[in-house]
């Protein structure tokens, strides 16, 4: 594995590893690691860092929905143009052009059902090229970005074993 | 009720005292665990589930499912330039543990001397004793990177032994042996007509150097039983699946013991193992990469603390020198005061005295915290 790939693998595992920890694990210098991270960020390969949150455990309600979007394109408007408009809205957490029965898969997040549905009906549906929206509210998350949700992973192992 | 002498002869495991203390405490970070902290690859788990759904709940052939034996033989043939015959030279067992036990019982007569390279996995000595054999400890030392050498074999009277047990990559030291180093042992074994029991359960977990099996040296295949299993590389400890490879006559003898004690290895686990061999190499590599990073982390932290630690190249243990004269006292106080559990080296044989076994089969966050606590303890 190249240094860059190794670094990416580690950051994907836990973006909060300190440069010191990263360096130890990679058997590299801290300065090297810092430089490599700067390069990854500057080149845009790394776009940001986020926590993976299990909202079911929080007091605060968090509503997420997956929205299927169908669009019609004309001479002036392409997929990118529609996407450019949608990504500007803060409640939009992800937007992907997909193959299959619909065109875009949109992920929306808000504080309440009302807020989310209002956003979809008032901001998304009125976009002229969008011909249909189908909203799926997320009822339960079992895994998110590689992390399993739900019951913590209690280490049920013996504290000593051969 | 009378308890058999050969059982009474075995002292309780040296880690039991610590285990009892740890049981009473919360928030213990254990570096005393000899099993992966990963979960078995999903594909293997799914194969186990599917096999249950299909109602595969009967015994299999005593030697294990033919398909699995074939998959094992095929895997081995990629590593060696010879194969084991799946019909006669492979035995599937309930963990490598059972394979070891069956081998001791099938190959050791009362009074036979079984040389054991130490520090060693804790089951060999009792296993030999239960079989009526005489364990002969063969100490290896840090000066030799805990490798077995011809001098050590000669100096400890192994020439007159009947069997020799080795385990590389090693639990507890993390030592490995390179091809040329093993060649020396192989020559000695040939000269003195020894039988070799080679526990290679950590074979897939080496960092930097490729694993070599002693069975691959000239004349060694005929006199070696190789033990392996799915517990370590595939993180399948709870599924209890292992195997032994040996010439037909030996496997036949081992199977005779196995067929009366175990009948056959767990069927569900055999399906999981088959899938593991077929599709989970990527998982193994990923886990190994993570172990390797943790290994580098732990080694560099010990170095920083000024604790002498041999650079382990395999398994998931490091074996630093204990900073105190009294290793038990160190381990006990560290556990009481800082809630960090590790294992005193003497548990693995006298030559482990003065060392500690530190397992890095624990997530990095815990490792980092544990090392910080050790550092605080030393201050
Ligand atoms: C060297 C060695 N051999 C064998 C075993 C037992 O493995 P299994 O789970 O396959 O019985 C272990 C487990 O700790 C081990 O360290």
Q: Is B242 in the pocket of ligand 1 (CB under 6 A)?
A: yes
Q: What is the pLDDT of residue A121?
A: 96
pLDDT of residue A159: 85
pLDDT for residue A156 is more than 80? no
The answer to whether residue A153 scores a pLDDT higher than 60 is: no
Residue A3 with chain B: CB contacts under 8 Å: none
Residue A109 or residue B13, greater confidence: A109
Q: What is the DSSP string of A57-118?
A: GSSS--EEEEEEEEE---SS--HHHHHHHHHTSTTEEEEEE-SSSSSEEEEEEESSHHHHHH
Rounded to the nearest integer, the mean pLDDT of chain B is 96
For ligand 1, the distance from its centroid to the CA atom of residue B114, given in whole angstroms, is 19
Tell me B355's DSSP state: B
Mean pLDDT of B75-87: 92
Reported confidence tier of residue A154, pLDDT bands at 50, 70, 90: low
What gap in Å lies between CA B69 and CA B82, rounded to an integer? 15
**Is 80 exceeded by the pLDDT of residue A151?**
no
* Closest CA in chain B for residue A158: B33
Mean pLDDT of B262-291: 97
Please report the pLDDT score of residue B72 as a whole number: 98
> Could you tell me if the CB of A162 is within 6 A of ligand 1?
yes
pLDDT of residue B63: 98
Handedness of CA B75, A9, B38, B204 (dihedral sign): positive
B269-287 average pLDDT score = 97
Query: Is any ligand 1 atom within 6 A of the Cβ of residue B96?
Result: yes
B22-65 tens-digit pLDDT:
988 988 999 999 999 999 999 999 999 999 999 999 999 999 99
Average pLDDT, stretch A53-66? 91
Q: What's residue B12's pLDDT? A: 81
Indicate if the pLDDT at residue B374 is higher than 70: yes
A48: left (phi over 0), alpha (psi -120 to 50) or beta: left
pLDDT on residue A150: 75
- Chosen for mutation from B33, B316, B359 (greatest number of chain A CBs closer than 10 Å) is B33
Whether residues A160 and B171 touch (CB distance < 8 A) is answered with no
Q: What is the mean pLDDT of residues B79-84?
A: 88
For CA atoms B47, B49, B51, B53, the dihedral sign is negative
Is residue B89 within 8 Å of residue B245, measured between CB atoms?
yes
Q: Are B346 and B172 in contact (CB under 8 A)?
A: no
| B358 vs B344: CA distance, rounded Å | 9
Average pLDDT over residues B91-99: 98
- The SS3 assignment for A147 reads strand
Asked if residue A148 has pLDDT above 90, the reply is no
Ligand 1 atom having least distance to the Cα of B34: 14
Per-residue pLDDT at B108 exceeds 60: yes
Distance CA B273, CA B75 (A): 12
Q: Answer whether B44's CB lies under 8 Å from B280's CB.
A: yes
Which of B28, B34, B364 is opposite residue A161, by nearest beta carbon? B34
Q: Is the pLDDT of residue A94 over 80?
A: yes
Q: Is B37 on the interface with A (CB under 8 A)?
A: yes
**What confidence score (pLDDT) does residue B11 get?**
82
Contact B269, B236 (CB under 8 A): yes
Distances in Å between the Cα of B59 and the Cα atoms of B62, B253, B260, B263, B271 are 8, 20, 13, 8, 12
């Amino acid at each position: 594995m190249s240094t860059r790939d190794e670094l990416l693998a580690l950051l994907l595992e836990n973006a909060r590893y300190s440069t010191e920890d990263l360096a130890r694990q990679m058997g590299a210098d801290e300065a090297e690691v810092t430089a490599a991270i700067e390069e990854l960020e500057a080149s845009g390969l790394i776009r940001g860092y986020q926590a993976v949150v299990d909202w079911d455990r929080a007091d605060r309600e968090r509503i997420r929905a997956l929205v299927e979007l169908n669009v019609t394109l004309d001479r002036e408007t392409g997929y990118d143009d529609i996407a450019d408009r949608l990504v500007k809205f803060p409640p939009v957490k992800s937007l992907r052009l997909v193959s299959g029965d619909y065109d875009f898969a949109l992920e929306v997040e808000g504080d309440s059902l009302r807020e989310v549905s209002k956003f979809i009906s008032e901001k998304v549906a009125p976009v002229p090229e969008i011909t249909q929206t189908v909203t799926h509210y997320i009822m339960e998350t079992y895994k998110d970005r590689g992390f399993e949700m739900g019951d913590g992973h209690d280490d049920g192992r013996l504290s000593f074993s051969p | 009720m009378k308890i058999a002498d050969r059982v009474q002869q075995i002292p309780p495991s040296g880690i039991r005292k610590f285990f009892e203390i740890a049981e009473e405490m919360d928030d213990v970070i254990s570096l005393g665990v000899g099993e992966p902290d990963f979960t078995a690859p999903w594909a293997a788990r799914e194969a186990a589930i599917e096999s249950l759904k299909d109602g595969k709940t009967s015994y299999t052939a005593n030697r294990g499912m033919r398909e699995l034996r074939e998959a094992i033989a095929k895997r081995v043939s990629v590593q060696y330039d010879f194969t084991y015959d799946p019909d006669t030279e492979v035995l599937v067992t309930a963990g490598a543990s059972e394979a070891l036990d069956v081998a001791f019982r099938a190959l050791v007569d009362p009074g036979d001397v079984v040389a054991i390279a130490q520090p060693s996995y804790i089951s060999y000595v009792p296993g030999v004793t239960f079989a009526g054999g005489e364990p002969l400890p063969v100490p290896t030392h840090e000066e030799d990177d805990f490798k077995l050498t011809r001098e050590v074999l000669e100096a400890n009277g192994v020439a007159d032994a009947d069997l020799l047990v080795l385990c590389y990559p090693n639990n507890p030291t993390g030592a490995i042996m390179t091809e040329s180093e093993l060649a020396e042992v192989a020559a000695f074994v040939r000269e003195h007509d020894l039988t070799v029991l080679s526990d290679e359960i950590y074979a897939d977990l080496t960092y930097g150097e490729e694993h070599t099996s002693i069975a691959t040296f000239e004349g060694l295949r005929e006199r070696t039983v190789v033990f392996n299993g799915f517990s370590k590389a595939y993180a399948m400890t709870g599924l209890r699946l292992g195997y032994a490879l040996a010439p037909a006559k030996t496997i036949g003898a081992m199977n005779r013991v196995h067929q009366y004690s175990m009948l056959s290895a767990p069927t569900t686990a055999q399906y999981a193992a088959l899938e593991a061999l077929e599709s989970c190499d990527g998982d193994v590599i990923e886990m190994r990469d993570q172990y390797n990073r943790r290994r580098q982390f732990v080694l560099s932290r010990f170095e920083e603390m000024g604790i002498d630690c041999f650079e382990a190249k395999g398994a998931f243990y490091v074996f630093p020198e204990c900073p105190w004269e009294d290793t038990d006292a160190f381990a006990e106080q560290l556990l009481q005061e800082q809630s960090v559990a590790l294992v005193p080296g003497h548990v693995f044989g006298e030559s482990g005295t003065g060392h500690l076994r530190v397992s890095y089969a624990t997530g990095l966050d815990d490792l980092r915290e544990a090392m910080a606590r050790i550092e605080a303890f030393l201050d």
